[in-house]
Amino acid sequence: GERYRDALAALPADLVRGPVAERLVDGARRRYQAGLRRSWGAMRSTRYFRLLDALEQVSAAPPAAPDSGIEHVTIAASYRKVRKTVKTARRADEAAIAAAADGAETAPELAIERDHALHRIRKAAKRLRYVAEATGDKAVGKQAKLIQTLLGDHQDSVVSREHLLEQADVAQAAGEDTFTYGVLHQREADLAARCEEQLPAALKSLRRSVRAAR
């Protein structure tokens, strides 16, 4: 809701047409309140308290011994997972570009898979950041956090564009002007493009920091 409120406020008045704020801002507030009530209910359940008890047991357990057979996570191992997700994303990107150039019917599905692949990089970078912070490597943690933030903005754009399309369909069915939904959609697409442009440099910086940590 705050995202759309700020985006609408930044637009010239003549570009805001129809009850867009009511659908995007007020609608988000209503969904938030409904979700909050469900969360409160869940946190009063027996299942939730069992979860808290289990977490306390985990945190109270002694750390595993080096020869216990349990894998100890390292920066190097976590970074390998980042590299693997990057390679997968590059293949997905190449497939999406080729399909779009050929006008293939699978182009939209491949574009979605490409976005999912970028989101997996974010999750791998997030894990690496936690490992780096736990081992005291601030440089790796800083670079991993940068990628996490960058691709977090990208994922927010992906989710926002899906929501805008859904709300535009609802507005159109109600006979409302949908022009502003298209304007906001393009702004989100531009944001995603900027994030993607910055990603290669961020990945190079991460690679250098990991090498320096060895």
Quote the pLDDT of residue 64.
67
The confidence score (pLDDT) of residue 71 equals 61
What pLDDT, on a 0 to 100 scale, did the predictor assign at position 62? 82
The position carrying tokens 């996570």 is 73
What average pLDDT does the structure give for the chain?
Answer: 94
Q: Is the dihedral of CA 163, 166, 170, 173 positive or negative?
A: positive
pLDDT-flagged residues of the chain (< 50): none
Beta strands in the chain (DSSP E): none
Q: What's the pLDDT score for residue 192? A: 97
- pLDDT attached to residue 61: 85
Which residue matches tokens 């369909």?
A: 169
Q: What is the CA radius of gyration of the chain?
A: 22
Q: How many CB atoms lie within 10 A of CB 174?
A: 11
Q: Determine the pLDDT at residue 67.
A: 63
pLDDT on residue 213: 85
Rounded to whole angstroms, the Cα distance separating 89 from 97 reads 12
Strand residues in 82-181 grouped as ranges (E): none
pLDDT at position 69 is: 59
Q: Contact at 8 Å (CB) between 164 and 188?
A: yes
Q: CA nearest 95: which of 106, 86, 84?
A: 106
Angle among Cα 168, 174, 178 to the nearest 5 degrees reads 35
Q: Which two tokens stand for residue 198?
A: 């910055």
Cα angle for residues 133, 200, 116 (degrees, 5° grid) = 80
